[in-house]
Amino acid sequence: MTNYLAIDLGAESGRAMVATLDDDRLSLTEAHRFSNGPVRLPDGLHWDVLRLWSEIKAGLTIAAAQAPLASIGLDTWGVDFALLDGHGALLGNPHHYRDSRTDGMLTRAFQRVPREQIFAQTGIQLMQINTLYQLFSMALAKSPLLEAAQTFLTIPDLFNYWLSGQKVSEFTCATTTQFFDPQRRVWALPLLEALDIPIHILPRVCEPGTVLGSLLPAVATETGTSPLPVIAPACHDTGSAVVAVPAENENFAWLSSGTWSILGAEVRQPVLSEQALACNFTNEGGVFGTWRLCKNIMGLWFVQECKRQWNMSYDELTRLAAQAKPFLAAIDVDSDLFLHPGDMPEKIRKYCADTRQTVPATQGEIVRVALESLALKYRFVLERLEELVGKRLEPLHIIGGGTRNGLLNQFTADAIQRTVVTGPVEATATGNVLMQAITLGHLASLAEARSVVCGSCDPQVYEPQSKAGWDEAFARLQKVMQ
């Protein structure tokens, strides 16, 4: 029986999970959970990384007191980053990807490097939140932080540096920046130079499953732990989550459901075709030579913002949505209108009014419009994905915290008219731990790791119940997307 610690940070919360592998069965126990979210300062929207670091150490302290640990691994969201000076000190508070400093940056970047060339060099979905446009905005503003920087680290790389002392960029996170060349597997230096982004700040890239070193003595002493190995699993949370898909065939699609929804397939080579660019798909690095051909969709951010606005529970919002009238309107969940924090219910109502659809009046109607529209967007993206890979993908595995929303899961099965399998809920932490176990030789392969997931969780299956109304609503979505 072996215990591992997974530190899993999401856009809404973080957790320290102790996982036990015993006779090919994996069990997870939450040792520590804490909130996460943006902090607004006069210069924009930031992450509170110092508080998060304190929470990580608190989680490590609690976990170490519960059981002897074999290793620790950490994952977070991608895209965001920290800058360090020549002494390794943090320069400023890292910005949040929803900060408005990247508004208009894609257009300005395309004036220097055509969008086709950016995609050809990186294979990444063109989104203003990407690291490339965050750094480009700093270069245009002649940011003194960028001028003083000696090292660039993505957010998980920063915490791994504070845990182990190693300044490296883990592969799955490096690929999310939109300045990593997926074919040559190196930083896309010509692209950065064309946008006046310094290249000397880039660290070396390590593969997922790398042992970064031992826990720094000062951290081990503070948390009451031994100098256990610090392992870089798939440090991008979606990369870890996909490791934990309990797939029993190769022709499956996966959907990581949380603040963001990310829908994709596992492929062996990046897909850099004109069609992939036209559909704005992304090629993110995976584990053991795989790639995640996928697309970001706005996700449960809608429900989270409604919850914050109304101060209601998720269960109550879902109950009201289930009782509301169906198919009042269809919104493009990826409209720029919904990117920034604000009054989400009013944004949804405005979108419906602007597109001359029925405006939802009640709380339940607003949430139902959001959930139905998410399911419809899943159908749209799944159809494009199948065109890119040239085969039917079934079942759709939904993983992550969003699997708790049974109403959305059923809507998804109805919208796509195929089987949906949900679980595990803690997919990211599970995949994180499985990569630690493989690195330490406790599991032999990705296939064996997924077999462990199949034997350790009890997935829930959703079959299509009704097709009525979904085709008409899908046509409405396609119309407002034009």
Alpha carbon of residue 174 to chain centroid: 13
d(Cα 212, Cα 4) in Å, to the nearest integer?
A: 16
d(Cα 176, Cα 196) in Å, to the nearest integer?
A: 19
DSSP 8-state symbol, 148: H
Of the residues 75, 237, 332, 334, only one is catalytic, namely 237
Give the CB-side neighbour count of residue 431, counting CA atoms within 13 A. 29
d(Cα 160, Cα 16) in Å, to the nearest integer?
A: 15
d(Cα 441, Cα 159) in Å, to the nearest integer?
A: 24
Beta partners for 210?
Answer: 232
* Phi then psi dihedrals of residue 212, to 5 deg: -75, -25
Query: Angle at Cα 255 formed by Cα 366 and Cα 271, nearest 5°?
Result: 125
d(Cα 240, Cα 256) in Å, to the nearest integer?
A: 10
d(Cα 82, Cα 92) in Å, to the nearest integer?
A: 8
Residue 294: in which H helix or E strand, if any? strand 291-297
Contact between 236 and 246 (Cβ < 8 Å): no
Count CB atoms within 10 A of the CB of residue 425.
17
For 177, the token pair is 């920046």
d(Cα 34, Cα 274) in Å, to the nearest integer?
A: 43
d(Cα 408, Cα 301) in Å, to the nearest integer?
A: 13
Return the sign of the alpha-carbon dihedral for residues 335, 336, 337, 342: positive
Active-site residue 237, yes or no? Answer: yes
d(Cα 23, Cα 309) in Å, to the nearest integer?
A: 46
For residue 316, count CB atoms less than 10 angstroms from its CB and return exposed for 0-12, middle for 13-18, buried for 19 or more: middle
Catalytic residue IDs: 237
